Amino acid sequence: MLKDNGCMTRAVVTGGAGFIGSALVDTLVAQNYHVTVLDDFSHGKKENLAQSRDSIHVIDGSIVDLGAVETALSDADIVFHLAANRSVPHSVFNPLHFNRVNIDGTVNILETAKNVGIKRVVFSGSSAAYGDNTSFPQTESLMPNPQSPYAIQKVTGEHLMRYYWDSFDLETVSLRYFNVFGPRDDATSSYGAVIQIFIDRILSGKPIIIDGTGEQSRDFIFVQDVADANIAAATRARKDAFGVPINVCTGKSVTVNQLLETVQNLTGKKVPFSYGPSRAGDVVKTLGDNARARELLGFEPSWSFEAGLQKTIPWVQNQLSILHRQ
Ligand SMILES: NC(=O)c1ccc[n+]([C@@H]2O[C@H](COP(=O)([O-])OP(=O)(O)OC[C@H]3O[C@@H](n4cnc5c(N)ncnc54)[C@H](O)[C@@H]3O)[C@@H](O)[C@H]2O)c1
């Protein structure tokens, strides 16, 4: 077990300039961790690190570059491995590049962690592992059924984590995030896009066309909860948490219709809306079971959907005003 309050625990966050990584970095800094970010800024942004900039060490490098990984991990206690290419459609068109980052990069992290004596690696997996499995709520005992190169790579990452724990006693925790939302999501490649599009259109008074019936639903989890789950995995994981996938979800599913109503209520604005055709390949529902996270990590989400939206709306509003000034 790692030190609970940080006590200058040395943490590396790969992908720390991204949406979830930067929320984790801010939380770690607030808890007195010594943080190094390894990010190639392919999707991450310097401004995401503005809040913690003076307290962290940033390495502009790729997880595909073994030398950069060795430099970043050389004197660390723990690695939070978030760096990845995360777009499902792009992974279909560019599987070789995705494989290099999401698989070779992950092996670089694990191999280096083993060689330099890292205590624990926390991996960012994805509920995309469940694919079109329609048994709800989705529990970790379900057989993975990944449907894209991205999802296959995330499942492979989990197996690599298990292998390094089984074979080398490297402590690994694989977290399977459901649909993460919140400030700093660039939302071009995630289902969180629907949240930002709705906020954007409602604030700008533009009409909305809902895909399909609007009864499709997602287990949306607020980004701060995901950061907290990572820290629980670092500090409170039981031994039987190592090497197994663990859902990070709320256990509640919000429909697109409910999302629209909630954003309208929170902003106090209403816009006309209508229903259009369904999106090709859209899954009807995601809903996870979070019993394992409660049991093995002592983690429970603490942000309601409304509370998360209340933090997201002003961020989208600010992005809009930046856009309009340009
Ligand atoms: N956002 C979600 O809803 C969601 C859901 C499930 C899993 N995940 C996983 O969580 C992790 C973080 O996702 P995110 O939503 O913050 O995405 P993001 O794109 O905002 O962050 C990923 C970060 O990794 C960096 N990166 C990419 N390739 C790199 C490389 N070769 N070397 C170093 N850095 C590199 C990017 O620059 C970016 O800063 C990813 O592993 C993703 O697969 C996200």
User: Do 152 and 269 belong together in one domain?
Assistant: no
Cβ atoms of 299 and 228 closer than 8 Å: yes
User: Do 20 and 138 belong together in one domain?
Assistant: yes
User: Do 232 and 143 belong together in one domain?
Assistant: yes
Placement of tokens 């995630």 in the chain:
190
At 122-132, the pLDDT tens digits run 999 999 999 98
| C-beta of 164 in contact with ligand 1 (< 6 A) | no
CA distance 46 to 18: 9
> Which of 73, 82, 94 to mutate to test ligand 1, by most ligand atoms within 8 A of the CB atom?
82
> Which of 12, 13, 14, 19 to mutate to test ligand 1, by most ligand atoms within 8 A of the CB atom?
19
The tokens describing 259, both together, are 């999302």
Please indicate, yes or no, if residue 308 is contained in any of the structural domains.
no
Q: Which residues contact 133 (CB under 8 A, 6 or more apart)?
A: 142, 143, 145
Please indicate, yes or no, if residue 186 is contained in any of the structural domains.
no
Please indicate, yes or no, if residue 298 is contained in any of the structural domains.
yes
Distance of CA 163 to the CA centre of its chain: 22
- pLDDT of res. 282: 77
CA distance 168 to 172: 11
The closest residue, in CA terms, to atom 7 on ligand 1 is: 126
User: Do 116 and 263 belong together in one domain?
Assistant: no
Look up residue 124 and give its amino acid. Answer: S
Measured in angstroms, how far is the CA atom of residue 315 from the centroid of ligand 1? 20
- pLDDT of res. 6: 46
Query: Is residue 150 annotated as part of the catalytic site, yes or no?
Result: yes
Measured in angstroms, how far is the CA atom of residue 269 from the centroid of ligand 1? 33
Which residue among the candidates 150, 164, 177, 191 is catalytic per the annotation?
Answer: 150
User: Do 172 and 33 belong together in one domain?
Assistant: yes
Domain range holding 131?
Answer: 10-181+221-250+287-302
User: Do 115 and 264 belong together in one domain?
Assistant: no
At 261-317, the pLDDT tens digits run 999 999 999 999 999 999 877 788 999 999 999 999 999 999 999 999 999 999 999
User: Do 116 and 198 belong together in one domain?
Assistant: no
CA distance 226 to 230: 6
Q: What is the number of structural domains in the chain?
A: 2
Look up residue 223 and give its amino acid. Answer: V
| C-beta of 194 in contact with ligand 1 (< 6 A) | no
Measured in angstroms, how far is the CA atom of residue 14 from the centroid of ligand 1? 9
Measured in angstroms, how far is the CA atom of residue 124 from the centroid of ligand 1? 8
User: Do 201 and 162 belong together in one domain?
Assistant: no
Please indicate, yes or no, if residue 31 is contained in any of the structural domains.
yes
The residues pairing with 254 across neighbouring beta strands, listed in sequence order, are 218
Closest listed residue to residue 181, CA positions, set 316, 79, 29, 300: 316
Q: What is the DSSP letter of 46?
A: G
Measured in angstroms, how far is the CA atom of residue 63 from the centroid of ligand 1? 12
The closest residue, in CA terms, to atom 23 on ligand 1 is: 15
- Terminal Cα distance for the chain, rounded: 49
| C-beta of 177 in contact with ligand 1 (< 6 A) | yes
Please indicate, yes or no, if residue 3 is contained in any of the structural domains.
no
User: Do 206 and 130 belong together in one domain?
Assistant: no
User: Do 119 and 202 belong together in one domain?
Assistant: no
Q: What is the CATH number of the domain that holds 195?
A: 3.90.25.10
Please indicate, yes or no, if residue 4 is contained in any of the structural domains.
no
Would strands 78-81 and 10-14 be described as parallel, antiparallel, or unpaired?
parallel
**Residues of the chain where predicted confidence (pLDDT) is lower than 70:** 1-7, 187-192, 323-324, 326
Closest listed residue to residue 79, CA positions, set 20, 108, 119: 119
Please indicate, yes or no, if residue 258 is contained in any of the structural domains.
yes
Q: What is the CATH number of the domain that holds 146?
A: 3.40.50.720
| C-beta of 15 in contact with ligand 1 (< 6 A) | yes
Cβ atoms of 289 and 137 closer than 8 Å: yes
Please indicate, yes or no, if residue 2 is contained in any of the structural domains.
no
User: Do 81 and 211 belong together in one domain?
Assistant: no
What number of other Cβ atoms are within 10 A of residue 207's Cβ?
Answer: 10
User: Do 292 and 200 belong together in one domain?
Assistant: no
CA distance 288 to 185: 21
- pLDDT of res. 8: 83
